[in-house]
Amino acid sequence: MDLHQLRVFYAAGKSGGFTRASEQLHLSQSTVSQHIKQLEEELDCPLFLRVGKRVLITEAGNVLLQYAEKIFHDLKNAEMAVREMNAMKRGAVRLGVGATTLTYRLTHVLGDYNRRFPDIELIVLTGTTEFLLDAVKSQNLDLAIVMSTPVPPQGMTVTPLGREELVVVMNREHPLARKSILEPGDLSSIDGYFESLGVTPRIAMEVESIEAIKSLIRAGLAASILPLCATGEQPRSGQLRVMRVRGRPLARELGLAALDAVILPNAIRELATALMAALGGGADKRSQKAKGKRQKSKVPARN
């Protein structure tokens, strides 16, 4: 198996056919077919099924396609690392992050990175912690900002980035919104509020968009626990009430995940450094600053 054959196979597998692969690679369709046939003979395994004029990738072909994607990504990283030694910075960096952290805490960081490295393609993928960790493990991501786990997944390192404060957000018409700070027992009494209305609480919908959740809260249809960074500064006339719980601070730990013992190009290391500078300890400092303000004004909750 040589790289040229693998590149032809990869183009056919990703594009869904020999014709498109020939167009992408500027080869004749017969040449594409010949290379793939030679690869199948060498592996003694069919990679595509010919059904009339169509070709369908086989299970073995899908396995090879995944490995080919990793191989070509490693080749790009190798090229980028070598070019960087000659100050020719090219390549791609792939970052995974939760939508909330991306929207409310990273836009300026990624914008600054893009200005510093205009020739580096920055690819950002959003998703849950489980999804992002799987993507790092399968080498579909170089770095991922995730919620820290007690034990890092095998073959990965998760560098702590700090704590991100969570707060209870509800509509200002909610009975608990009259309080200056919530007691731990108040969280369970939210269910009691619905019961007093003759309503049995149930999960009516799952919403990933923080802005959509805030809209539902403004309409009086929900209460939620959200990252403080996503609440913003609410005007007094607004419909959101942002509250903390006395003696029981809510927070989540963030970490930067990457494959263990991997030689990273400078562009990826530079992004990791920027992320750690922006998020590392940033949430704690914000919480301490907010705590100082509360002590001065003696108001334990933010509006």
Hunting for tokens 């167009």 — which residue is that? 23
Q: The whole model's pTM is what? A: 0.57
Quote the pLDDT of residue 109: 94
Domains of the chain listed by start with CATH number: 3-71 (1.10.10.10), 80-163+253-291 (3.40.190.10), 165-250+293-297 (3.40.190.290)
Average pLDDT in the chain: 78
CB 156 within 8 A of CB 260: yes
From residue 253, alpha-carbon distances to 6, 212, 264 in Å are 42, 24, 25
- The proportion of the chain whose per-residue pLDDT surpasses 70, expressed as a percent, equals 78
- Split at pLDDT 50, 70, 90, the class of 86 is low
Inform me whether the pLDDT recorded for 190 exceeds 70: no
- Residue 178 has, within 13 A of its CA and on its CB side, a CA count of 3
Inform me whether the pLDDT recorded for 198 exceeds 80: no
Of the candidates 80, 150, 91, the one whose C-alpha atom is nearest the C-alpha of residue 122 is 91
Inform me whether the pLDDT recorded for 1 exceeds 50: yes
Quote the pLDDT of residue 59: 92
Inform me whether the pLDDT recorded for 238 exceeds 80: no
CB 61 within 8 A of CB 72: no
Quote the pLDDT of residue 197: 45
Ranges assigned E (strand) in 148-268:
156-171, 224-227, 240-243, 250-259
Q: How many CB atoms lie within 10 A of CB 93?
A: 24
pLDDT in tens, 106-146: 999 999 999 988 888 899 999 889 999 999 988 889 999 99
